[in-house]
Amino acid sequence: MAQIARIFNENRIPLWTAIPLESPFVIEVEPTSFCNLKCKYFLHTLPNQEILDNGHKFLHMSDEVFELLLEQTMQFPSKIKQIGFAGMGEPLLHKRLPYMVEQFKQRAGIERITITTNGVSLTHQLTDALISAGLDHIKISVNGLSSEDFKRNCGSHIDFDQYVEQISYLYKNKGNTVVACKIMDSCVGDAEDAFFDMFDDKCDTMSIEKTVRVFREVAYDGIIEKDKDVLSRYDMRENRVHICASPFFRFAVKADGTVSACRLYNGLTHSSFHLQNRTLSEIWNSSERRRMLLGVLKEEHTGLTAQCENCTLKDDFAFESDLLDDYADQLRQKILQN
Ligand code: SF4
């Protein structure tokens, strides 16, 4: 029987005590920016040309970029705690995903490897490969409870019975991998109990997440009711946070090797933040990133931190142990002295 629980790691240390970190705790990796769905709350809902016009690219991560990423991940003085495969695209569409998981696990000794997926491309063979590669956690974003729901919410036809069977197979054969299924409130509507009943015997944890405005390019009318904006998908807080925690402990690497100093979506980047130009640890210790951190602490939304202006992610992922608002002066001094 699955537990109803929000999907995030609650075993976190108070972030302010650890800053400045000598190595990131988490690296988000985007294996591909292609997707097989067009979910109404996600960037892929837009026509492809519009996505390109907004500066996004469609590509799979090349072997060359992956090797650089793997090598550079191992150059930090302490081990990265978590590699999370996610991003603009659907991670399972990258044919070498099991290899990537295995390499991070075996060669880089990463403690926790996670995948966030819509689950549509799962096959028995892929499931077996991911589990034997050492995957620790898989979060499946279920976007409806029938083929009709998927058509309505994601603009795509899927064989829903086959989809559920694949998730069942994954759960039965999961070994040490934790399987989590979640659905957005805008996809489940009033059928919350039906979701819990359907997935109760097919995963370790189940949850319903709030739909949050993530992409400024996407119109959320009809998805989020007017005046019903929420700050966090996990429903953690009602008050806004001021200082975003992400850039203090996280890096993100896009399919083309571009590095973001915080998250994959709308993240802080610099023209030289690319694996081919500088190593991850050089970027982590760079003067540009340091200026970004100081800008975030000062709540500056100009220059290197201009992206923060309309970014909803600092509230969306504001975990209690990561809150920095009360420590801004102290942290600024520590960073200046470092
Ligand atoms: S507010 Fe957004 S853009 Fe700014 S540091 Fe946080 S995640 Fe990055």
Q: How far is the CA of 70 from the centre of ligand 1 (A)?
A: 25
- Give pLDDT, residue 292: 97
Which residues are CB-contacts of 337 (< 8 A; sequence separation ≥ 6)? none
Q: How far is the CA of 270 from the centre of ligand 1 (A)?
A: 13
Which is the closest atom of ligand 1 to the Cα of 244?
Answer: 6
**If you average pLDDT over residues 316-330, what whole number do you get?**
88
Residue nearest to atom 4 of ligand 1 (CA): 308
Q: Please, what's the b/e burial string for 12-50 (b: 16 or more CB within 10 A of its CB; e: otherwise)?
A: eeebbeebeeebbbbbbbbbbbebebbbbbbbbbbeeee
Residue 307 CB less than 6 A away from ligand 1: yes
- Give pLDDT, residue 227: 61
Distance CA 183, CA 141 (A): 6
- Give pLDDT, residue 216: 81
Residue 312 CB less than 6 A away from ligand 1: no
Q: What is the pTM of this model?
A: 0.94
**If you average pLDDT over residues 244-252, what whole number do you get?**
96
Q: Is residue 158 pLDDT above 80, yes or no?
A: yes
Instruction: Give residue-wise pLDDT tens across range 66-123.
Output: 999 999 999 999 999 999 999 889 999 999 999 999 999 999 999 999 999 999 999 9
Helix, strand or coil, per DSSP, at residue 251:
strand
Distance CA 33, CA 89 (A): 4
Q: Is residue 317 pLDDT above 80, yes or no?
A: no
- Residue 203 CB-density burial (10 A; 0-12 exposed, 13-18 middle, 19+ buried): buried
Distance CA 321, CA 189 (A): 31
Residue 311 CB less than 6 A away from ligand 1: yes
Q: Which two tokens stand for residue 46?
A: 């837009």
**If you average pLDDT over residues 162-191, what whole number do you get?**
95
- Give pLDDT, residue 9: 67
Backbone angles phi, psi at 196, to 5 degrees: -60, -40
